[in-house]
A = this chain, B = another copy of it.
């Protein structure tokens, strides 16, 4: 929120130049910008390193470009997830720093590279096919100022593969574990480390995997106590929460 604007509003209210109702409304509106098809939310402090994020699916290219244009004015880092290369082309026309990440199908504008984490974030996959979702998590965590360690293809059917990475995993502040099919890897990683594990089910599999439901249920029922779960294929959410966990923290005193 623009603090100067807020102070001016409050002063005007005290001088009786504004009715209480009108004052309240104007204060609320400082938080976002209404561009017709969207209310672009500016209330999260971008000084803390949160990237602004646009969920690309179900929006027209014009809408994505319009929203990104507003965001880059106030935020150095911006992500567009669930998008395509054509949209990237139009975004790059207006913001030349935009990068295209084919594997994750994600546009990233990454101008502020300040490091903000206390440790590292491990991003782990059970299989090769889970990499796109894991990359979405890793790219998000990097855009939020974190160092990321990638560990691909260490699923439980060859348990020695994940055991070989035990010390890497144990040195991370938080682990993101991405798995489809039976989704068992988070439980095993959860047993190896003493930090939070964020489990991401993927839609990889066939038949009774039901588009990721089998993996999701497996993770929700994990016998490891340090596992929490996000939506199927939600690499972005996992990267976002992992960044909040890893963030140097000080009580917000106001």
Residues of A within 8 A of B (CB): 10, 14, 20-21, 25, 28-29, 31-32, 36-39, 41, 43-45, 48, 50, 53, 55, 57-59, 63, 82, 118-119, 126-129, 131, 152-161, 163-164, 167, 170-171, 173, 181-184, 187-188, 190-192, 194-196, 198, 201, 203-234, 236-238, 240-241, 244-245, 249, 251-253
Contact = CB atoms under 8 A, between A and B. Distances in A.
A103 to B, nearest CB: 10
Contacts of A32: 158, 160-161
Contact of A182 (B217, B226, B241): B217
Given A57-B129, A184-B187, A216-B208, A249 B119 contact: yes
A220 B184 CA distance: 12
A20 B254 CA distance: 13
Given A32-B160, A126-B223, A183-B221, 14 more contacts: A10-B20, A25-B167, A28-B163, A28-B164, A36-B152, A58-B128, A182-B220, A184-B223, A205-B221, A207-B231, A208-B220, A208-B232, A216-B220, A227-B230
19 contacts: A21-B167, A29-B164, A31-B164, A39-B158, A59-B129, A126-B223, A171-B251, A173-B251, A184-B187, A184-B188, A207-B212, A208-B220, A208-B221, A213-B217, A214-B214, A216-B220, A227-B241, A228-B228, A245-B245
